[in-house]
Amino acid sequence: MSEMDDIDKLVLNEVQYNFPLTSRPYRKIGKNIGISEDDVIRRLRRLSKAGVIRYIGAVFNSERIGFESTLVAAYVPKEKLKKVVRIINVFTEVTHNYLRKDSEFNLWFTVTTPKGKLSSFLRRIKRLTGIKKMIDLEKRGTFKIDTRFLLIDGK
C-alpha cells in the first residue's frame, strides 16, 4: 500500500475518536471531514485490506462490567502448534493469539472471562490442548496507547 494521505488520516481519527452512534455513521464521518459516505467506506476497506485496520468496534473496560483478563504464555511443541491454535481460537474468551519465535514460550494469547471464571477457563484450555507449560501473566495495571494521525500542518 502506498502511504496514507491526509484524508485517510482524518478518516482514521474520526473512526477512533468521534465515531457517531447513528444509523449512517460513515455518512456523518464524511460530512465532518468533507467527503462522501462512499469515499469513507472505500478508504476504510482499502486500509483494512492493507492491514492498517484490524477491527472497527467498541472497546469496553472489561473490569467495570464484571470481567477479568490475563495474558498467557505457553510452550507448544512445533508439531502440535496448528492443532492447539485451532482449539484456542474457538473460544470467544480468547481475544488475541500470537506466535512468538524468539521465546521458549512460543504461543501467547489474551483471555477475558466473567470474574471468578478465569482459573477454571485456563484449566480447561490446558486439558483440551495438552499444553504442559503455561504461564498466567496476570494483569497488574493498564497502560493505554493513543494513536492520533496528525496532518502535516499540525491539525
Residue 128, helix vs strand vs coil: helix
Question: pLDDT of 66-81, one tens digit each?
Answer: 999 999 999 999 999 9
The whole-angstrom separation of Cα 113 and Cα 125 is: 13
Query: What's the rounded mean pLDDT across residues 133-143?
Result: 87
Q: Determine the Cα–Cα distance for residues 109 and 87; give it in Å rounded to an integer.
A: 12
In sequence order, the 6+-apart residues with CB closer than 8 A to the CB of 36 are 30
Quick one: pLDDT at residue 153? Answer: 52
pTM of this prediction? 0.68
The burial of 113, by beta-carbon neighbours within 10 Å (0-12 exposed, 13-18 middle, 19 or more buried), is given as: buried
Predicted pLDDT at 154: 46
Grid cell in block for residue 114: 466473567
H-helix segments, the chain:
6-17, 25-33, 37-49, 81-89, 118-129
Average the pLDDT over 136-151 and give the result: 77
pLDDT digits (tens, 9 = 90+) for 18-69: 999 999 999 999 999 999 999 999 999 999 999 999 888 887 888 899 999 9
Q: Which amino acid is located at 49 in the chain?
A: K
